[in-house]
Amino acid sequence: MTGRRRYHPFFALRFMRRTLLLYLVPLVQVLFERDWAALSTALAQDAALFCLLAAVSWVMLHASSWELDAGGVLRLRWALLFSWERTIQGSQLAAVQIERPVAYRLAGACRVTLYPALLPKRQAVTLCLTRRDAARLADCLMPAPAEETYHPAGGERLAFVLLGANSLSTMLLVWLAMRQGDSAAEQMAWQQLGQAAAWAARWLPAGLAWALTAWTFLFGLSLLRSFSHTVRYTVWRGGGVLASRGGLFLRVERRFRLAHLSCAEVRLSPAARLLRCYPVYLTAGSYSADDPLFVYRAGQEALVRRLLPGFVLPPRGRLRLGQLRGRSLVFLAPGGGCLAFFVLLLLVASWALPAAVPLLALPAAACALWLAFEAEGLFREGAWPAQGRLTFLRQRRMSLRCVCVFSPATALRIRQSPWAVLRGRANLTFAYPGRLRETVRSIPLADALRCAAFLERNEAYDPHHPL
């Protein structure tokens, strides 16, 4: 169908990038012994090594080829000292991702990643092709004629930007606070108590100001990254494929085969609840998205169902104290342990180092918010069949994840500890194709058995069900 095609020269640059450390080997003696007279010799060795690796890359480039036949089978070949061939059936692909960073666009290249439906993520295939070959390969392997199109605009786009930056900024804030605290602890360990107190009184307020300034700067960078992701962003569905395209600095196109879709989840983070806009993430085969596919406002569930036919949210229930009967308090262990640790530090600091109290109050407040979301998960986490689908709620960090399972190859595993047997509780693990797993903790055993019976009846996973 395409005939034998060569990869883009950037295919060889991937090998050159992996060998960058080799260029530092001749310079080690020069740097550690300060033998500057040998610098010219080391640079000559680096030049010879570069020429050798460039020749190897050129041989690899011309020994590799790819071909797509009329049956939709992609053949990747290597023929040098020995022959090697790998075949990929287009119908068994769960997702295709095409990336075009700025450097790739200048060279007319694309990075294409193919995610099989049943293999783990480490066995995904990455190819460097020309722009025309990448578009042609994606259209042949996973055609997506536009039947239903969605363009985020106005409030949806603003929510997309804020929610895309939310998790990154929160992570960096906690990391900065912890790093600043580690720096203070290191100084206190090397000085006497009186000198440490004087040092803390002088520098900790400045350190706190530095941490907040750095967090503001990094939050702005994350907003810029998220905004660039939404430029010219489009989501469309057609031909049993859900696709998205957009980006400014890094242009990314993703295509998901709905027949191999593992699950779709809505993450209720603090920012999502305040904005009343909810991001949707997809998992297909070995592909697990780090960025949301799209964002919808409260009351726009019909939009989600148009783009994702068969999508169902878990049933909503009120928080009831009766649901806590027999439930393990392990939900509260991470956040509660961190909060107790920082509260203890605050009590010690209020007596010994009052200047450190503002610095320690910042991570303590973050841990208190984390504990509040864990308490919500203690009430609401569970799994239920709903409207022909398996659904579950899972609390993770500061988000409550509402998941709808699509994959017909999903397996369930029910585990009980001796304590859980006495309490009538169990952990239910969802195992998706691609060796991805998600565990719902300490749910009633009756709910777990109901999900297993539902899956055995195979009512939700009719292979002829139109997606």
pLDDT in tens, 149-198: 888 876 666 777 777 665 444 444 444 434 443 444 334 333 433 444 44
pLDDT tens digit sequence for 392-423 = 999 888 888 999 998 877 888 999 888 888 88
Q: Copy the structure tokens of residue 330.
A: 């392990």
Mean pLDDT of the chain: 78
Place of tokens 């605009």: 153
| Range with lowest mean pLDDT among 106-115, 242-251, 358-367 | 358-367
On the question of pLDDT at 90 being above 90, the answer is no
Average pLDDT over residues 286-313: 85
Q: Copy the structure tokens of residue 283.
A: 């998992």
Is this prediction's pTM over 0.75? yes
What letter represents residue 215's amino acid?
W
pLDDT of residue 63: 80
pLDDT of residue 208: 54
Selected residue with higher pLDDT from 52 and 392: 392
Q: Is the dihedral of CA 287, 291, 294, 295 positive or negative?
A: positive
Q: Where are the beta strands (DSSP E) in 358-463?
A: 382-386, 389-396, 399-405, 411-415, 425-432, 436-444
What is the distance between the alpha carbons of residues 22 and 16, in angstroms, rounded to a whole number? 10
What is the distance between the alpha carbons of residues 338 and 346, in angstroms, rounded to a whole number? 12
pLDDT of residue 113: 92
Burial class for 416, CB neighbours closer than 10 Å (0-12, 13-18, 19+): middle
pLDDT of residue 173: 40
- Pair 414, 448: CB distance under 8 Å: yes
Supply the DSSP string of 217-271, one letter for each residue: HHHHHHHHHHHHHHTT-EEEEETTEEEEEE-SSSEEEEEEEGGGEEEEEEEE-HH
Q: Which are the contacts of 316, defined by CB distance < 8 A and separation ≥ 6?
A: none
On the question of pLDDT at 389 being above 60, the answer is yes
- Residue extents of the structural domains in the chain: 10-141
Q: How are strands ordered across the β-sheet holding 73-79?
A: 64-68, 73-79, 83-89
Selected residue with higher pLDDT from 133 and 216: 133
CA atoms within 13 A on the CB side of 249: 5
Start-to-end Cα distance in the chain = 28
pLDDT tier for residue 323 given thresholds of 50, 70 and 90: low
Task: Please give the backbone phi and psi of residue 441, each rounded to the nearest 5 degrees, phi first.
Answer: -95, 140
pLDDT tier for residue 255 given thresholds of 50, 70 and 90: very high
| Range with lowest mean pLDDT among 24-33, 191-200, 276-285 | 191-200
- Pair 378, 332: CB distance under 8 Å: yes
SS3 sequence, 375-405? HHHHHHCEEEEECCEEEEEEEECCEEEEEEE
What is the distance between the alpha carbons of residues 232 and 461, in angstroms, rounded to a whole number? 35
Instruction: Please report, rounded to a whole number, the percentage of residues in the chain having pLDDT higher than 70.
Output: 78
- Pair 432, 120: CB distance under 8 Å: no
